[in-house]
Amino acid sequence: MDGLLSRIQSGQCVVGIYGLGYVGLPLALRFAEVGIRVIGFDIDPAKVTSLNSGQSYIERITASEIERARAAGFVATTDFALTREVDAQIICVPTPLDSHHQPDLSYVANTVDAILPYFKAGQLMSLESTTWPGTTDELLAPRLAEGGFTPGLDCALVYSPEREDPGNAHFTTAQIPKVIGGMTPQCLELGTALYAKAIERLVPVSTTRAAEMTKLLENIHRAVNIGLVNEMKIVADRMGIDIHEVIKAAATKPFGFVPYTPGPGLGGHCIPIDPFYLTWKAKEYGVNTRFIELAGEINHYMPHWVVQKVADALNSKSKAINGSRILVLGLAYKKNIDDTRESPAVEIMSLLQDKGAIVAYADPHVPSFPQKRDYHFDLKSVTLTAETMADYDCLVLATDHDAFDYNALQQHAAVIVDTRGRLHGENVVNA
């Protein structure tokens, strides 16, 4: 293991990134930026081809960034046999929920199983995918043991949760502090040495379980508070109070209050999913996570609330949802990005279509409706003009991209259901 530490400290190590999505690709580019040779692994040949030709498939990552990484030695591959060439494997694959809201670790398990035939003594494995506390030592360590490897003795095993925030211009991959826990003190030493090459601040914790729980706490904190403010929005709406005005006023308090904004539901790869990893694992210990589950219920209800507000808005124009032309503005889960994972806008579109609406969407960041497991729309983004805005019976502002011309929307739309608090006027219905 001294040889691995020496290669890391000298910058001569080779890093393998497994999963080249919104988490793995920025991390790969960061390691390449500091002069570390990186091999990117992905099971999607289209992604591999794109990267090896110098093209990006993520809006916020430019082709020039890909080219700089390639010039530094970065290559992408579908061939897991190249695992033999790396000193460290960093796993950044999805951890979704299945149809029964149970953790689906198949991507993690399949990736580790694909690595193991080529794993060798003196390598480091790091898991970044969000998961339940105990995954590293209950799922990964036994697989390494089956191959004859013992973390801390002839290999290293760490957990270091990703903290990417797409669209956040204030914090880059390098600037976001990185939590890390190791299976043993030596594992932790090797893991921190590796990540210190690319990340400005490391936050070591005592165990992999503590690191796994840290990531869940971060996202559960947000999920619960968003659930609270979404419930407050419903109450305020019933009382005829503008919740956004209330939040702005409350935020003037210089202590004891953190403003959260309501919306049409939760989106992204973390907050709608991660809390349920803990609720599932907590049951093993006889604990019911009532706050988390209640917040989940409220947040899951919000797309239904929006659809009801659409029904009310159309009803005020003597129309029904059935047969109405409805344009959803914003498909991404938050503004100014192209990431549609778990986006409430997609659920809203599905619910409206189920009620007979003729549904379309407009999103300058998402030109075509992406391939998804549970939703299938053969649609392309509508170009917003005065004519198209006026052509729909109702517009639903699901994601408040800065690229939208809000004055034009308000001028030409028959009625707008606003889930983000951006608009005010006679033809606006707040949801």
Other Cβ atoms closer than 10 A to 412: 20
Tell me, what's the pLDDT at 261?
94
Tell me, what's the pLDDT at 2?
85
Looking at residue 155, the DSSP 8-state letter turns out to be: B
Residue type, 347: E
Q: Which one from 13, 92, 155, 270 is the annotated catalytic residue?
A: 270
Strand order through the sheet with 325-329: 358-362, 325-329, 394-397, 416-418, 428-430
Q: State how far the Cα of 337 lies from the Cα of 168, in Å rounded to an integer.
A: 9
Structure tokens at 391: 């052509």
CB 306 within 8 A of CB 264: yes
Q: State how far the Cα of 364 lies from the Cα of 338, in Å rounded to an integer.
A: 9
Tell me, what's the pLDDT at 170?
84
Structure tokens at 295: 């917040």
Residue 187 annotated among the catalytic residues of the structure: no
Tell me, what's the pLDDT at 62?
95
Tell me, what's the pLDDT at 110?
97
* pLDDT averaged over 10-residue windows placed end to end, the chain, 431 residues: 92 97 96 98 97 96 97 98 98 90 93 97 97 97 96 97 85 95 98 98 98 96 95 96 96 96 89 89 93 93 97 96 98 95 96 98 97 90 96 98 96 96 93 92
CB 103 within 8 A of CB 132: yes
Tell me, what's the pLDDT at 289?
94
Q: State how far the Cα of 319 lies from the Cα of 304, in Å rounded to an integer.
A: 19
Q: State how far the Cα of 180 lies from the Cα of 206, in Å rounded to an integer.
A: 9
Q: State how far the Cα of 144 lies from the Cα of 186, in Å rounded to an integer.
A: 16
For the chain, domains (ranges, CATH) are: 2-206 (3.40.50.720), 302-430 (3.40.50.720)
pTM summary value: 0.93
Other Cβ atoms closer than 10 A to 6: 12
CB 162 within 8 A of CB 90: no
CB 15 within 8 A of CB 178: no
Strand partners, 15: 38, 88
Match 């919740």 to its residue by tokens: 243
First-to-last CA distance in the chain? 57
Q: State how far the Cα of 61 lies from the Cα of 32, in Å rounded to an integer.
A: 14
